Amino acid sequence: MSAVPAAPHPASADPVEPGPAADRGLDLLLVPPRARTGWRVVPARVLAMCVVELQKLRHDRTELYTRAVQPALWLLIYGETFTRIRAIPTGGIPYLDYLAPGLIAQSAMFIAIFYGIMIIWERDSGILTKLLVTPTPRTALVTGKAFAAGVKSLIQAIVVVVIAALLGVALTWNPLRLLGVGGIVLLGSAFFSCLSMTIAGIVLTRDRLMGIGQVKPPSQAI
């Protein structure tokens, strides 16, 4: 509990007992926080949404692992097979090296699209409703969600890079280039989640969404 200066008696354990806020150690709940204004609002909201996503990932890494399965299978089975049989023209580079960047893009896109669509679930529950009654401009909410998807994709991209490195894919270790990859993944995911949020905003119900889910971009074409 925060230190309440000169509180006449300690915070009461009995919640029903009325009394001035300071007595119960609730002095901060009387003072509205000072509002951020101007350009600082959007970055602050984006940060808040990204923090939430990181906290969720920290509590439950299952999604991270299950999403790693598909790229791992691609690399291990398709990658190894096609490297041997050389069925796909890759312009002289090993098929695994050819495949790995595509897998990063694919995972990022999938995560982003599903993340954007999750907004339908949040709309059905009260989570979104409650956020809409906070001093968060609608643009900041969408931007925040988009970058939260980006953060999620970025973490997934790191997983794919690690798997690829373990399989001996010839990766560049130039930090600037890896940073560039990070930037592209972040922005690309932000874009795709905005796209799916737009679709979610148009269809509004889950049932109709299933139809749209069928016409996903042909990701298998990598």
Partner 1 sequence: MSDDGPIAEGGAALVCNGLAYSFGETRAVDGLDLSVTAGEVFGLLGPNGAGKTTAIRCITTLLPVPAGMVRVLGHDAARERMAVRRLLGYVPQQLSADAALTGRENVALFARVFDVARRERADRVAQALEAVDLTEAADRMASTYSGGMVRRLELAQALVSAPRLLMLDEPTIGLDPIARTSVWDHINAVRAATGMTVLVTTHYMDEADQYCGRVALMHRGRIRALGTPEALKADLRDRRGDGAKPTLEDVFRDVAGSGLDAQGGEFRDVRRTRRTASRVG
Angle at 51 between CA 175 and CA 107, to 5 degrees: 55
Residue choice 5, 15, 89, 91 for contact with partner 1 (CB under 8 A): 15
Cβ distance 111 to 156 under 8 Å? yes
Site for partner 1 contains 88 (CB under 8 A): no
Residues 112-151, one symbol each (x = binds partner 1 by CB under 8 A, - = not), give: ------------xxxx-xxxxxxxxx--------------
CA gyration radius for the chain?
Answer: 23
Shortest CB 51 distance to partner 1, Å: 7
Measuring CA to CA, how many Å separate 47 from each of 52, 128, 131, 139? 9, 17, 14, 14
Interface pick for partner 1 out of 26, 178, 187, 203 (rule CB under 8 A): 26
Q: Does 5 bind partner 1 (CB under 8 A)?
A: no
Measured between alpha carbons, how far is 189 from 151 in angstroms, rounded to an integer? 9
Sequential DSSP letters for 43-76: HHHHHHHHHHHHHHHHH--HHHHHHHHHHHHIII
Give the Cα separation of 193 and 150 in Å (integer).
8
Min. distance of Cβ 125 from partner 1 in angstroms?
6
Range in contact with partner 1 (rule: CB under 8 A) among 32-40, 74-82, 97-105, 158-166 = 32-40
Which of residues 36 and 177 has its CB atom nearest to partner 1 in the complex? 36
Residues near partner 1, by CB under 8 A = 1-2, 11, 15-21, 23-36, 41, 44-45, 47-48, 51-52, 55-56, 59-60, 124-127, 129-137
